[in-house]
Chain A
Amino acid sequence: MENASSPDRLKVALIGNPNCGKSTLFNVLTGLHQSTANFPGATVDKKTGSVKIEGPSGKTFFVDLLDLPGAYSLNPKSLDEKIAVELLQDKNHVDHPDLTLFIADASNLKRSLYLAAQIIDLKIPVLIALNMMDVVEKRGMEIDDKLLAQRLGVKIVPISARQARGINELKEALVSPAEVKSKDIFPKEILSDKNDAQQTIERYRVITEIITGCLKIKMKKDEEVFSSRTDKILTHKIWGYLIFLIVLLLIFESVFFISSYPMRWIEMLFLFFSKWGALHLPQGELSDLLVNGVLAGLSGVVVFVPQIALLFFFIAMLEDSGYMARVSFIMDKVMRKFGLNGRSVIPLLSGVACAVPAIMSTRTISNWKERLITIMVTPLMSCSARLPVYALLIALVVPAERKLGFFNMQGVVLMAMYLIGFLAAIGSAFAMKYIIKSQERSYFIMELPPYRSPRWNNVMLSIIDRVKVFLFDAGKVIIAISIILWFLASHAPGDKFTQIEKKHQIDSSFTPLSSGRGAGPACRTGRGEVAAEKLEASYAGILGKFIEPAIKPLGFDWKVGIALVTSFAAREVFVGTMSTIYSVGDESNDQSIREKMYSEIDPETKRPRYTFAVGFSLMIFYAFAMQCMSTLAVVYRETKNWRWPVIQFIYMGVLAYVASFVAFHLFK
C-alpha cells in the first residue's frame, strides 16, 4: 500500500484463530530474528520478527512480520480482538500492514474462513496460508485450494508449518503483489436488519456455500481416537489430578536439581573472575566498583538463566502439547468455587515463571471479575525471581538429606514454598470473590486442541525469548541497583571510614590505606573486622538499621533489611544484594555467598545467624510480598486503574508481614 518510500520493505501482519499454528509459522519464517516488545503503551503483547526474501525477479525484500493475537471473529469483544481489528481497519494506524497473512486451519476450514472472509471484506490485501495440510491428508480429506482461492478472490498457499512444507511458496507469494477483492463476500444486504446471532448464522451459510465442492472427504476416519483415549486418562477424576500433581513435582524437582549444576559452574566462573580481578587489577575505586559492584551484580543475574530456561522449557512443552488446555478443563469446576475460571489456571501456572506475562495472559478470561481476581492473586504464585531467593535460603537452612530414599528434603521444601504460594493465591481469590461485586456472567468456552508432540523449535524459541527478556530487561535493573548498592555499602557520611581505620591502626601492623575509603582489594587480609564495621557505618548500613526495628520481629537483621529495601525493585536483587553486602564485608573473595552466610555467627546468641526459623520466615516474606515494580506496572496497564496495584501492594505486604511473623515464632 504506502510502501512507495521503501519498495523493498514490507509490513505483514499474521492473523488467525487460536491454535491455527500461527506461532509455529511465525517461528519457521523468522527463526531467531524475532522479539517480543516489552509492554508498550498498549496492553497487547506485540511480537515482531523479520525475514529476508529473495523476490522472483531477484530483488531482495525485507519483510517485517507482526504476530497479532489469535481471534475467532472481528466482532471485537475481547481486548485482544479489539486491537487486531483496529490495526487492520485503520489504514493510518502506525502498524497497519501492507499485507495481511491469514493463517487458516485447513482441518477446521469453516471456522477459519468465517474470520478470513470478514478480513477480506475489510478491503485490505490478504493472502491465505492454508495450514495443517498434513492433518487434512491424514484425515483422508482433500481441499481444492485453487477453486477456494477463486471463490474467495484472494491467493491461497497450502502449507504445513509443523513440517515446514510450502514455506518457499508462501515466501514467494508474500512478496508478490496481492489483490484486493472488490466485491463483498458477505453482501451488506444479507447482514443488515439482523441481530448478531442471525448475522453469524448468515455468514456461516455463505461460508458453507463457498466450501461446498472445495472440500472432499475421501474416507472417514475417527482420528480423534488417540486424543479421546489420552483425554480419558488425563481428565480422569483421580488420574487426571494425580498426573497433574506429578507433572508439577517433576518440573520443580528438575528445575531445582538439573539447574544446580550449570549454576555451580556459573558461580565458579564468577568467583574465578573476581579473584583474578582482585589480584591483577590496579588498586583503587574503579577496580573495586568493577569487582564488588558490577561483577557481583552480573553473577546474580547470569546464575538465574539455567532455572528460567528449564522452567520455560516445561511450560512451553505443556502448552505446545495441548495439555495446558486439559488442565483448564479439569480445573474449571474447582477454580469456579474460588471465584476463578478454568482459564485462570494458565495465568496462575505461568505466574510460576513470571507474573508479568501471566497477568497479560489473563486477557483470555472474558469475565471481568474473574479476570481481576486472577490478576490480583497471580503475583502470589512463586515466580522464577523468587527461585534464587528460595534456592539460596534452602541451601542455607535445609540439610540435603534424602527422606524415603528418594525425595531430597531441599526439593520437598522448595515444592512446599510453591504450594504455600498457590494456597495463598487460592485463599485470597476466595476472599475476593465475596469482596468484588459484579453483575457480569461467567463463561468457560474454550477449544481443546488435539494432542500434538511439542515443536522443539517453538519450545527453544520461547526459552530464548524469555531468557533474553530477563537478561536484558531485568538484568539492567539488577546491575544498576548493584552499582548503587556498592556505592551505598562502600561510602559513609563524613569521615566515618577514616575514623574506623584510625581506631584499628593501633593494633594493625599494616600501613594505613591511601584513599581512606572503600574496603576493596586494596586491603586484603586481616581486616574483616574493619570491613564489617565500615559496612555498618556506611549508607547502606544506616538504611538497614533504620528499618531493623520493624523487621526484627520477623527475625531479620539490618543486612537482610538492606536486601529487603533493594528487593522492592525486583525480588531477584536479594541474592545480588546479599553477595554485594557480604563481599564488601568480607574481603576474601574465595567463598561463595552461601558459604559466607552459612558461616555467619549471630553476635547475640553465638549460634549461626541463619537458623531454619530465620530462613523460613524470610522465604515466606518473599513468597507473599509484592516486591516487583514491573508487575505493579502491568497490573495498572491491565486494569487501567491505580486502585488495583495499590490494593495489591498493600494486601500482599500485610500478608507477608503477618505470615513471616507467625512463621518465625512458630519455628524459633
Chain B
Amino acid sequence: MKKAKLFPHTLADLTLGECAIIDSFTDKEISIKLLEMGCLPGEMVQVRNIAPFGDPIAISVSGYTLGLRKAEASTVIIKSVTIDSFSKESLAGVK
C-alpha cells in the first residue's frame, strides 16, 4: 500500500507510521545537530511514535530511534512520502 503525496512538506507533517526521504534543511543550526546524529539527505526516516499532546515525535533513522520536537522536525524538508504497511501494522500492535 503506497500512496504518494503531492505537496512538499516537512518531517513535522508526517503521521504515525509514515516514511519519507530527507531532502534538505531550512535551518542551519538545527541541521548540523541532526546531520551529526545521522539524519542525512537521502536517508529514509519513519515516524515511530508521537508523544502525548502531539509533541515531540520519535523517528527511526539510520537504524535507531531519535526523539525531536515538532519545531525541529519542521526544519526538515522531505520527499517521497510513503507508508510502510508492515511497520504500520507492527506499530499499531496488530501483527
User: Interface of A with B (CB < 8 Å)?
Assistant: 72-73, 75, 107-108, 110-111, 114, 195-197, 200-201, 204, 222, 224-225, 227-229, 231-232, 235-237, 240-241, 325, 328-330, 332-334, 342, 441, 443-450
Known: A222-B86, A235-B49. A201 touches B40 (CB 8 A): yes
B58 touches A332 (CB 8 A): no
The smallest beta-carbon distance between A627 and chain B, in angstroms, is 36
Contact between A197 and B35 (Cβ–Cβ < 8 Å)?
yes
Contact A72 B36 (CB under 8 A): yes
Asked if B64 is at the interface of the complex by the 8 Å CB criterion, the answer is yes
Q: Tell me if B41 and A237 are in contact (CB < 8 A).
A: no
Flag B62-95 by CB within 8 Å of A: 1 or 0 each. Answer: 1111111100100000000000001100110101
Question: A445 to B68, Cβ gap below 8 A?
Answer: yes
Any A CB within 8 A of the CB of B55: yes
**A447-B37 in contact given A224-B65, A227-B65 (Cβ < 8 Å):** yes
> A111 contacts which chain B residues (CB < 8 A)?
37-38, 62, 64
Q: How far is the CA of A342 from the CA of B80 in the complex (A)?
A: 31
Interface check B53, CB cutoff 8 A: yes
Cβ contact within 8 Å between B69 and A444: yes
Of A108, A325, A334, A446, most B-chain CB atoms within 10 Å = A446
When each residue 43-68 of chain B gets 1 if its CB lies under 8 Å from chain A and 0 otherwise, what string results? 00000110111111010101111111
CA of A236 to CA of B95 in the docked complex: distance in angstroms? 19
Q: How far is the CB of B89 from chain A (nearest CB, A)?
A: 10
A229 and B87 CA atoms in complex are apart in Å by 11
A228 touches B68 (CB 8 A): no
Please determine whether A228 and B55 come into contact, CB atoms closer than 8 angstroms: no
User: What is the chain A residue whose CB lies nearest that of B68?
Assistant: A445
Chain A to chain B: the 10 pairs with minimum beta-carbon distance, closest first: A237-B52, A200-B35, A448-B65, A111-B38, A73-B36, A444-B69, A225-B90, A445-B68, A72-B36, A329-B67
Q: How far is the CA of A342 from the CA of B56 in the complex (A)?
A: 9
The answer to whether A229 touches B93, judged by C-beta atoms less than 8 angstroms apart, is: yes
Q: Is the CB of B90 within 8 A of A333?
A: no
- Cross-chain contact B51 with A329 (CB below 8 angstroms): yes
* B14: interface (CB < 8 Å): no
Verify A228–B49 contact, CB threshold 8 A: yes
Within the complex, the shortest CB–CB distance from A447 to chain B, in Å, comes to: 6
Point out the residues of chain A lying under 8 angstroms from B41, CB to CB: 201
Task: Given the known inter-chain contacts A229-B93, A444-B72, please indicate yes or no for A236 contacting B52, CB distance below 8 A.
Answer: yes
**Distance in Å: Cβ of B57 to nearest Cβ of chain A:** 9
Whether the pair A333, B55 counts as a contact (CB closer than 8 A) is: yes
Which chain B residues lie closer than 8 Å to A110 at the CB level? Answer: 38, 62-63
Is B35 within 8 A of A204, CB to CB?
yes
Chain A nearest Cβ from B26, distance in angstroms: 11
Q: Which of these, A195, A227, A231, A447, contacts B28 with CB under 8 Å?
A: A195
Nearest A residue to B49, CB-CB: A231
Closest to B39 in A: A445
Interface size on B, residues (CB 8 A): 39
Q: With the chains together, A306 CA to B35 CA distance in Å?
A: 45
Q: With A and B bound together, what is the CA distance between A444 and B57 in angstroms?
A: 10
A231 to B47, CA, bound (A): 13
Name the interface residues of B11-40: CB closer than 8 Å to any CB of A: 25, 28-38, 40
Pick from A72, A228, A240 the residue with the most CB of B within 10 Å: A228
A445 touching B66 in the complex, CB below 8 Å, given contacts A222-B86, A222-B90, A225-B95:
yes
Contacts of A329 in B (CB 8 A): 49, 51, 56, 58, 67
Which residue of chain B has its CB nearest to the CB of A109? B63
Give 14 A-B contacts (CB < 8 Å), ordered by A residue: A73-B36, A75-B36, A111-B64, A197-B32, A204-B35, A228-B49, A235-B51, A328-B67, A330-B51, A332-B69, A445-B67, A445-B69, A447-B37, A448-B64
Once the chains are docked, how many angstroms separate the CA of A228 from the CA of B31? Answer: 26
Smallest Cβ distance from A319 to chain B, in angstroms?
16
Residues of chain B having any CB pair with chain A under 8 Å: 25, 28-38, 40-41, 48-49, 51-56, 58, 60, 62-69, 72, 86-87, 90-91, 93, 95
Known: A197-B32, A228-B90, A232-B93. A332 touches B56 (CB 8 A): yes
Q: Give B17's nearest chain A residue, CB to CB.
A: A228
Considering the chains assembled together, what is the distance between the CA atoms of A325 and B55 in angstroms?
A: 15
Instruction: Evaluate contact between B67 and A447: CB separation under 8 angstroms.
Output: yes
The answer to whether A444 touches B68, judged by C-beta atoms less than 8 angstroms apart, is yes
Question: Within 8 Å CB of B25, what residues of A?
Answer: 197
- Report whether B36 and A200 are in contact in the complex, using a CB–CB cutoff of 8 Å: yes
- Evaluate contact between A330 and B52: CB separation under 8 angstroms: yes
Bound Cα distance A107, B95 (Å): 25
Is B67 touching A444 in the complex (CB atoms < 8 A)?
A: yes
Known: A237-B52, A240-B52, A333-B51. A445 touches B38 (CB 8 A): no
For the complex, give the distance between the alpha carbons of A222 and B60 in Å. 11
B33 contacts across to A, CB distance below 8 A: 443, 445
Bound together, the chains give a CA A227 to CA B69 distance in angstroms of 20
| With A222-B86, A445-B34 as contacts: A333 and B62 at CB distance below 8 Å | no
Closest to A73 in B: B36
Residues of B within 8 A of A444 (CB): 56, 67-69, 72
B60, A224: Cβ atoms closer than 8 Å: yes
Q: Is the CB of B58 within 8 A of A231?
A: yes
B41 CB → nearest A CB, Å:
7
B31 contact set on A, CB distance < 8 A: 197
Identity of the chain B residue whose Cβ is nearest the Cβ of A196 in the assembled complex = B32
Residue in A closest to B41 when the chains form the complex, CB atoms: A201
**Nearest A-chain residue to B70, judged by Cβ:** A333
| Cross-interface CB contact of B53 among A75, A200, A229, A237, cutoff 8 Å | A237
B residues in contact with A332, CB < 8 Å: 51, 55-56, 67, 69
Besides the contacts A200-B36, A332-B51, A444-B72, what 13 more A-B pairs have beta carbons closer than 8 Å?
A197-B31, A222-B90, A228-B91, A231-B48, A329-B51, A330-B51, A332-B55, A334-B53, A441-B29, A446-B68, A447-B37, A448-B67, A450-B65
Residue of A whose beta carbon sits closest to that of B46: A224
| CB nearest neighbor in B for A331 | B51
Residues of chain A lying within 8 A (CB to CB) of residue B55: 332-333
- Residues in B whose Cβ lies below 8 Å from that of A200: 32, 35-36
Contact A445–B72 (Cβ < 8 Å)? yes
A237: nearest chain-B partner, CB-CB: B52
* Assembly CA distance A208 to B36 (angstroms): 14
User: Least Cβ distance of A132 to chain B in Å?
Assistant: 11
Contact A228 B48 (CB under 8 A): yes
Q: Which residue of A lies closest to B27 (CB)?
A: A441
List residues of chain B with CB within 8 A of the CB of A342: 56, 67
Task: Give min CB distance, B59 to chain A, whole Å.
Answer: 10
- Is there contact, CB below 8 Å, between B63 and A107? yes
Complex Cα spacing A241 to B69, Å: 19
Q: Which of A237, A449, A450 has most chain B Cβ within 10 Å? A: A237
With a CB–CB cut-off of 8 A, which chain A residues contact B34? 445
Q: Chain B contacts of A228 at CB under 8 A?
A: 48-49, 90-91
Task: Report the minimum CB–CB distance from B93 to chain A (whole Å).
Answer: 6
Q: Once the chains bind, are B30 and A443 in contact (CB under 8 Å)? A: yes
